[in-house]
């Protein structure tokens, strides 16, 4: 089973590649195409995947390049036969209020967080149709909840969630399932500046019903589920993997709701 994982050099993408290697979806060996612009990060993963019994190849690409989809698919077909799943996970963030964000920063977030999945999906589509495969994209709880100062990031992830619903509608008849996972607060390189600090991590955990900040492996298991046969009749969903924080808006730290009472 041949799986493309983008953003594989770090965090959720890295954990996802390891999850597929440990528990191949079909047969006894995962075939993993690892994609990132961080060449050293990809190289550092190969030995671990090989030790787990997986075949792995790398493609160094900047996924903001509109030709990146063709590049990644060509590299995958050169290494393996066909494509069974595309995990479009690479993403980026800017903590800038909407009043200050530049059009360049806004375009960058839309390109990596939404358009990259389109160009990858377009290039992989004929092969996914042949395998009756799946696309899983990593969105965010920010797609459904405004978070200050992540306005442009939230908008880009909302665009991604709708893109995947639209793909599910347009490409479902070809046998391709298209879904999102949405991480809540998750401890990765992207959030290390916050969650490496145990006090900050504990403060965040206190806002999460399940009482902890997420780990990359929490997402990896959900991604593997959505990519695989156990999800064979699931398409167009956005699966929240957030410890319940999206269901818990009223208890966020600044909520005035805690002070409401009847007279």
Binding interface with ligand NAD (CB under 6 A): 7, 9-13, 36-38, 41, 62-64, 89-93, 112, 138, 140, 183, 185-186, 188-191
Under 8 Å between Cβ of 29 and 106: no
Closest distance to ligand NAD from the beta carbon of 54 (Å): 19
* Residue in 2, 88, 127, 153 annotated catalytic: 153
* Residue in 10, 156, 157, 235 annotated catalytic: 157
Query: Which ranges of the chain does DSSP label H, i.e. alpha helix?
Result: 11-22, 39-51, 68-79, 103-110, 116-131, 151-171, 192-195, 198-205, 216-227
CB closer to ligand NAD out of 11 and 151: 11
H or E element: which one contains 58? strand 55-60
Question: Treating both helix axes as pointing N-terminal to C-terminal, what angle do 11-22 and 39-51 enclose, rounded to 10 degrees?
Answer: 20
Closest distance to ligand NAD from the beta carbon of 223 (Å): 10
Tokens of 48: 């671990």
Q: How far apart are CA 13 and CA 255, in angstroms?
A: 33
CB closer to ligand NAD out of 35 and 134: 35
Closest distance to ligand NAD from the beta carbon of 82 (Å): 23
Question: Is 127 designated active site?
Answer: no
CB closer to ligand NAD out of 29 and 252: 252
Question: Is 157 designated active site?
Answer: yes
H or E element: which one contains 59? strand 55-60
CB closer to ligand NAD out of 22 and 217: 217
CB closer to ligand NAD out of 38 and 131: 38
Closest distance to ligand NAD from the beta carbon of 11 (Å): 2
Task: Say how far residue 234 (Cα) sits from the centre of its chain.
Answer: 17
Tokens of 2: 């041949």
Tokens of 258: 């805690």
Closest distance to ligand NAD from the beta carbon of 30 (Å): 19
Q: Which amino acids are annotated catalytic?
A: 140, 153, 157
């Amino acid at each position: 089973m041949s799986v493309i994982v983008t953003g594989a050099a770090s965090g959720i993408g890295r954990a996802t590649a390891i999850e597929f290697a440990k528990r191949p979806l079909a047969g006894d060996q995962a075939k993993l195409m690892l994609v990132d612009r961080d060449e050293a990060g990809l190289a550092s993963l190969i030995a671990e995947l090989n030790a787990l019994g997986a075949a792995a190849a790398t493609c160094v690409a900047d996924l903001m390049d509109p030709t990146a989809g063709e590049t990644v698919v060509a590299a995958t077909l050169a290494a393996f036969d066909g494509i069974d799943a595309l995990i479009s996970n690479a993403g980026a963030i800017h903590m800038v209020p909407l009043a200050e964000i530049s059009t360049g920063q806004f375009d960058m977030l839309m390109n990596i967080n939404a358009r990259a999945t389109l160009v990858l999906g377009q290039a992989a589509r004929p092969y996914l149709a042949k395998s009756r495969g799946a696309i899983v994209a990593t969105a965010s709880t920010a797609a459904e909840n405004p978070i200050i100062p992540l306005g442009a990031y939230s908008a880009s992830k909302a665009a991604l969630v709708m893109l995947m619903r639209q793909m599910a509608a347009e490409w479902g008849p070809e046998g391709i399932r298209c879904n999102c996972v949405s991480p809540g607060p998750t401890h990765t390189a992207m959030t290390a500046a916050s969650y490496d600090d145990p006090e900050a991590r504990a403060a965040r955990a206190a806002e999460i019903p399940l009482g902890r900040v997420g780990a990359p492996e929490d997402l990896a298991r959900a991604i593997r589920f959505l990519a695989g046969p156990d999800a064979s009749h699931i398409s167009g969903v956005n699966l929240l993997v957030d410890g319940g924080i999206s269901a818990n808006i009223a208890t966020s730290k600044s909520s005035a709701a805690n002070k409401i009472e009847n007279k």
